[in-house]
Amino acid sequence: MTLFDRLGGFVVRRRWLVVGIWALILLATLPFAPRVGGALSAGGFILDDLESARAKALLGTELGLPPSALVVVFHSPTLEAGTPAFEVPAAEAMRDLPAADHVARVVPH
């Protein structure tokens, strides 16, 4: 019998105890509820000083991409962008993207 089997059996046998414990936890956290709004921010879990946040801001200002844009970056340690050896496989990888659901546009480099 696994740990989760035993936990499930305990919860089934003592369901009202479990509900009561969760109710107590909820009541104990209610005083902190008004402060949650200050700790949470719109836009997800991204800090402005992270490299990814700076890259996202740069994509918005330089390319006009919305914050919801998905950016795919191809990198090769041996091939150089602009050469056929790099561009042909990259184009092949993106071939079906324009026909995919929810894709508004594909912007190559």
- Domain residue ranges in the chain: 3-39, 51-99
Highest mean pLDDT among 7-16, 32-41, 97-106: 7-16
User: pLDDT band for position 16 (50/70/90)?
Assistant: very high
Cβ-contact 60, 66 below 8 angstroms: yes
Q: What is the average pLDDT across 84-94?
A: 94
Write down the pTM of the prediction: 0.47
> What are the tens digits of pLDDT across the range 28-54?
999 988 888 777 766 666 777 889 888
Phi, psi for 88 (deg, rounded to 5): -65, -50
Which of 21-30, 56-65, 80-89 is predicted least confidently? 56-65
**Of 13, 10, 16, 107, the residue nearest 64 (C-alpha):** 107
pLDDT at 42 (0 to 100): 64
Cβ-contact 73, 67 below 8 angstroms: no
C-alpha 33/C-alpha 36 separation (Å) is 5
> What are the tens digits of pLDDT across the range 50-77?
898 888 889 889 888 887 888 888 999 9
Residue type at position 90: A
